[in-house]
Structure 1
């Protein structure tokens, strides 16, 4: 009996399976062709019978791989209800993104903070609770990005009387972007066994060791300013009054960015979502990839904290002062949290501050606007969250195109700000009114104190720097 490729195709084989079936048939004697074709039909019907077959296991496994390939996932027609704070100040792009987020089949709760603006996947300022699943791009690229504040028993008059000294300290004791310390300080986080156990971070350890204690580019900063505590605060151990303070904002550097991109690709290959939702692909926390991401996400968060602690330790040492109080919070992360009904969720906060009942945090403004020390109220409508800053009202590209360097410098001078380096994209005018943002979240946090920047160092365009 003769056969052709049409006989193979008519059984239902496609792609590589056709060539593997033809290869098998080429070894069959003419008188056995009919039986061999029947065998191929049986294989196509129940491939599991042939996974150990000496001549057909490659074909069987080829079909199994195809059957196990991820299938497209549909999102819901209508978004789950969620709370929006300060909707009239949020751009349509961010609102549309949040609508898509709340159509995900894994979405359970959500909220949009008043500083929200468009990002990738979950909008910046977005909060999402899921069950047993985690979305790398709902955590964000800069995993564990955070605020850290040290409050010193030093007079605020130093900001004028010893301004030159404080500027020198920031220049000498901080690094941004690609600029790192020639002799970085070791830290226990670099001894984590995960650096030897998980492939993606094995090759990142040397880079992490080189970048430890430094800050990223963009909106990251280290600055001296005035913290004012409104009432005696026993938890902070501070009396009402004004203090010299140091505030930093940065994340997990190249470590977190590489982790984010690596696991986002894995998630997108496994979780085939429509185009508008593709960056919201998730990992199952009950499977290896999800468990692995959870471990390295926490590693990146701990690394970000270590970077901040080294920044503050370096500067405290030069000041020859131990902080009266130190507080920090992160805002690009996912937490396992139990709600008031005892249900556990994975709460993603991308550019949102944890604001559970009694939880302390720092919400910065801009170079010329105050930041706020806050204590969370634990509002379930916001999924125990608050804004992470003023939020952008102007994109980086728009800021660079429309703002004039001379106008920005005059604005900084009018507010008494010493700027040691930043790009036009970080000009105060690029940000929303922090007072409006705080007004929209009165139900989410209580204000404990304020922080007013005075001497600011950032990464950025070297042509936009105030120098002595």
Structure 2
């Protein structure tokens, strides 16, 4: 059997105890029809990352969806080949780093125009009116954490691909935290305080006024996230002076209304990718590992995973473990005790021909599982169509503070 069933939770890959404990809590909270852990699972807030929870169709979990609503991946294949761009690769990565906005601010002061900013919900919903300016300011910005803009080569053809990973930025975060505030009888715009990683899922009835608001606002955040990824991929294509001949765009951290076993259901996927037959998905590894284009296929395993698969390789090490803790030395604050030597990481990437811009110890390759074994755990439900190797990686630097990272 490609998965284990542990106390009612379907577990793909090697069980991670803390994530499994969270999944068990999810399974006994609310009107739950099923719970599964993808092979990249690890501990998250309320619902584990890599976790899939299936609810009866009148219930949703805002904490299960999480704070980076509709975080996702987009890949674009170009007609360019590696020999054509290799001499200019450092300059290309410099331009990506200089022209695309990582972290909070926008490097180009001219805002991005997009129809998503004209959506009537920004005007009609009182809690969203104050977020419209933030949305306009942040549309097309990448953010921090594990969010990236990458260039890849597909070895058999030497074709160049563009890949990005980020979500709904401040608006998605504020929608999630605001709804959780309202559920706790706090003002929508209160700073988020007191949440615990292991608290049970917060559940909303979709027939209530707040439930309907969340469902609509979640979908608006999803449209905003897609618009941002489209814009950034377009920026990279313009820098490369080319166009895409294939695009693959998918997201996680979302709730879908689907049919499970002939019955309607709400499927909450946190850090898990929808994987229906013939559906294409882009799944990324760490800055030093492969990424892939997957195609879903019909199988018992696909049904067992609730038509879901991985969204990445999955963390092995927390950010604090990788970077270290803050200590005061000689009158200033410094990081000490981190497990990752970032200078050694940079030397290794250079030796492998990978141009890195930004990035920090908390995103080093050693922090993550290798992607191939994770994919192997789902071999019965996916076909790997394209294997992509990184040649350029751009991420926010370790000094960048971004409260909206996932």
TM-score interval, normalised by the smaller of the two chains: 0.7 to 0.9
The C-alpha deviation readout for 1:129-162, integer Å capped at 9, x for no partner, is 1011110111111001000011100112244221
CA distance in 1 between counterparts of 2:295 and 2:231 reads 25
Q: Note the C-alpha offset of 1:281.
A: 1.2
Looking at structure 2, the residues matched to 96 and 158 of structure 1 have their Cα atoms a distance apart, in angstroms, of 50
Question: Aligned pair count?
Answer: 368
Q: Quick check: 1:308 aligned with 2:235? A: no
8 Å CA contact 2:104–2:141 kept in 1: the answer is no
Q: What aligned pairs does 1:281-300 form with structure 2 within 5 A after superposition?
A: 281-300=202-221
Return the match for 1:437 from 357, 374, 383.
374
Which residue of the other structure, out of 94, 104, 117, is the alignment partner of 1:190?
117
What stretches of structure 2 of length at least 5 have no aligned partner? 1-5, 187-195, 324-337, 401-406
1:123 corresponds to which of 41, 45, 48: 48
Give the superposition deviation at 1:405. 2.3
TM-score (norm 2): 0.87
Q: Is the 8 A contact 1:422 1:462 kept in 2?
A: no
Asked whether 1:456 is paired with 2:393, we answer yes
Any stretches of 5+ residues in structure 1 without a counterpart? Answer: 1-78, 230-240, 464-468
Instruction: Give the distance between the partners of 2:357 and 2:199, measured in 1 at CA.
Output: 40
* Residue 462 of structure 1: how far off its partner (Å): 5.0
**Higher helix residue share:** 1
Relative to structure 1, is the Cα distance of residues 327 and 424 closer, same or farther in structure 2, using a 3 angstrom cutoff?
same
Residue 350 of structure 2: aligned partner = 413
Change in 2 beyond 3 A, CA 1:191/1:161: same
1:395 and 2:332 aligned: no
Which shows bigger deviation, 319-328 or 295-304?
319-328
Root-mean-square deviation (CA, aligned residues, Å) is 2.0
Greater than 6 Å deviation, 4+ residue runs: none
| Per-residue deviation, 1:399 | 0.6
Mapping for residues 2-401 of structure 1, pairs under 5 Å: 81-87=8-14, 90-131=15-56, 132-180=58-106, 181-227=108-154, 241-268=157-184, 278-339=199-260, 341-378=261-298, 379-400=302-323, 401=338
Q: 2-side partners of 1:173 and 1:110: how far apart?
A: 42
Scaled by the length of structure 1, what TM-score is found?
Answer: 0.75
Task: Report which stretch shifted further, 104-113 or 404-413.
Answer: 404-413
Q: Decide whether the 8 Å contact of 2:139 with 2:228 is kept in 1.
A: yes
Higher relative contact order (CA closer than 8 Å, sequence separation 6+): 2
Greater per-residue strand proportion? 2
Q: Which moved more, 1:164-173 or 1:427-436?
A: 164-173
Which structure has the bigger radius of gyration? 1
Contact preservation (8 Å) 1:225, 1:454 = yes
